[in-house]
Amino acid sequence: MSASAFEVARSECFAAGCDAFLAKPFREEELRGVLESQLNLRWIYADHEESHSPFPAELRSPPTAELAASMNWPPAAM
């Protein structure tokens, strides 16, 4: 994902080994499309009366302290 919309940034990303490129601002359906193609996913949508988001409520809320403690977080940026 890049904030740069220049074609050179896109070309540099692919030259560096990236498999996909998504420039900001992006639409949610663009992100889902990239994830679907790169991770071989198939999205299954269900009707949620409380929200139009494709993500279940438990993924829209911050994790509980117990769940957060059990997550394998990526290392902090150097």
What percent of the chain has a predicted confidence (pLDDT) above 70?
73
pLDDT digits (tens, 9 = 90+) for 6-43: 777 888 888 888 888 888 888 888 998 999 998 988 88
Predicted model pTM:
0.46
Domain ranges (residues) in the chain = 7-70
CA distance 13 to 15: 5
pLDDT digits (tens, 9 = 90+) for 53-76: 666 766 667 777 887 788 877 777
Task: Read off the pLDDT band of 50 (50, 70, 90).
Answer: low
CA distance 55 to 16: 32
Amino acid occupying residue 69: A
